[in-house]
Amino acid sequence: GRVLRSLDDSGEVQVAAVLEEFLASGSADVDSDGNVDCTSFVAWAFDDKPCKPRLAYGDGDEYRALSVKFLSTKMLEELKVKKSEKVYDIEPRIREAGEHVICPRSREERKLGAAYVDVAKDEYAGRATCMLSYTWGYEVHCIVDALQ
């Protein structure tokens, strides 16, 4: 939620910044004395996005690779990839999938924002044996079809 997105580099919530955003949103219930209704603030601050960071499924191996089986089935379903969508079209959904996940390559710093390869639940994932080069302008289905 908004509270999680307000974490500073030390991992502490910047409540004043969240409250300021709440007041500016127009969602605030403020009485004549300037008091904010706590119930509406909490409901707004903890919106429908996940609030608790979790660890990634991958172990942080920089060579972790998703299986072609996963890419051609679950990834296309999870990210709701339409036939003509290009990589840059689905990029926001890819980022969203890992935005509340602690990056496994930064466990000591516990930084939020993991790569899709780290958050994907692929039981056949393993170490990459080759590298696929593509541009963001390619259609996702075309890339997956080429891999199959």
Cα dihedral 116, 118, 119, 123, rounded to 10, equals 110
Rounded average pLDDT over 70-83: 95
Provide the CB-side half-sphere exposure for 29 (13 A, CA): 8
Provide the CB-side half-sphere exposure for 69 (13 A, CA): 6
Tell which wins on pLDDT, 69 or 40: 69
Considering only 6-10, 25-29, 120-124, 126-130, which range has the smallest mean pLDDT? 6-10
- Residue 51 is predicted with a pLDDT of 46
Query: Helix or strand or coil: residue 117?
Result: helix
Angle between helices 15-25 and 38-45 (to 10 degrees): 100
- Residue 4 is predicted with a pLDDT of 47
Which amino acid belongs to residue 66? L
Would the pTM count as exceeding 0.75? no
